[in-house]
Amino acid sequence: MKHTLKITLLLALIFIIAQVVGLAVTNEYIDHKTTAETGDVVFEALPYNLERPQVDESTSYVWIIGAIIIGTLLLLLLIKYRKMNLWKLWFFLAVFFTMAIAFAAFMNQIAAVVLALILAITKIYKPTTILQNLSEVFIYGGLAAIFVPVINIFAAFMLLLLISIYDIIAVRHTKHMVKLAKFQTKSKVFAGLLIPYSWKKGKIESVPANKKSEGKKSTSAIAVLGGGDIGFPLIFAGVVMKGLMLENTELIGFLKTLIIPLFTSIALLYLLLKGKKDKFYPAMPYLTVGCVIGYLAVLLVF
């Protein structure tokens, strides 16, 4: 087992909460009235005059994978100049905009942007364990609201396949994802779930240099799950939900979609229970299997 049972269950619980909240955010951006009238899924515009990528749905996965690779290379470059804190600025902007989009699904845009700004600043400069994980619950809902409308089911499957291959290469071969995860954990600015084994007044403590830190995996000091491991299964489930909304009422379509997070959470639990301590594992291949089984369950059961 990679972590204690308590930490394992807590990671899985926050993961599934992030999936459900993310789907709720995505659902709020669907114009259900127009969708019912036209027979095509119609999404409301993003707030703050933001625009979604103008790409073909069937080839969108190519652009997303390309953006991920370029973004990772850029982040590795920015880390080399860490004293300038450019990487923190990038991280702040990403957190701020995605949370603002997520909050705007449920509240006034001005209130959403103010709340997102406060949380993003606090997350960077006064991080706590609770704030870290609470903000991550909403961040990926904002991402899903951006990308789900421009992805069809074929592209969603291709995205899962390619990102799983990339995850294996990045963790087991080039190991640059391990490097990024260690750097973020040590800096107390991490994209993903982060649960210290021992909390000190709720603050996130840096992992000492003489101890191994954990990227998507476990250590004796801290347990983390990378943001991509939350975001990509959520985007896939959101795309499936798009299709279900054409054949079901809003509530039934949403509830059916929850089958996918259920299976991805089981896949995550399997990885955490079977994994070894202090060993790095690419999580996306396991989560992809969970997504596929969940999708088949949706088709077979309903």
Strands (E), 134-271: 192-196, 222-226
Task: Look at residue 185 in the predicted model and tell me its pLDDT.
Answer: 72
pLDDT digits 0-9 by tens, 175-212: 888 788 777 777 777 888 988 887 654 565 544 433 33
pTM: 0.90
Strands 192-196 and 222-226 turn out to be: antiparallel
pLDDT digits 0-9 by tens, 32-70: 999 999 999 999 999 999 999 999 999 999 999 999 889
Close Cβ partners of 118 (under 8 Å, ≥ 6 residues apart): none
Percent of the chain scoring above 70 in pLDDT: 91
pLDDT digits 0-9 by tens, 153-172: 999 999 999 999 999 998 88
Percent of the chain scoring above 90 in pLDDT: 64
Close Cβ partners of 140 (under 8 Å, ≥ 6 residues apart): 18, 22, 98, 227, 230, 231, 234
Residue 273 has pLDDT above 80, yes or no: yes
CA distance 234 to 215: 20
CA distances from residue 20 to 8, 144, 198, 261, 265 in whole angstroms, order as listed: 19, 12, 27, 7, 11
Residues in the chain: 302
Number of C-beta neighbours around residue 73 at 10 A: 11
